[in-house]
Amino acid sequence: CCVCSKYKHVCCVCSEYKHMCCVCCEYKHLCCVCSEYKHMCCVCSKYKHVCCVCSKYKHVCCVCSKYKHVCC
């Protein structure tokens, strides 16, 4: 599904669609949830269930808040 990072033990978790994968985090259990577009992924937070939703531009992501529905 997902393409692995430099380190084989750090892989991305696949999204609903197999062609949409997230950018890997430092730790495999802290991965980002993919956005609508495969090239737009979020920066992971400390907790995998609290990720940021990406903005229009792939290089500009929201900083995570305590609650996943409160970004930017």
> In whole numbers, what is the pLDDT of the chain averaged over residues?
44
Predicted local distance difference test score (pLDDT) of residue 22:
45
Residue 41, strand partner residues: 34
Give the amino acid at 41: C
Predicted local distance difference test score (pLDDT) of residue 70:
43
Residue numbers in the chain where pLDDT is lower than 70:
1-72
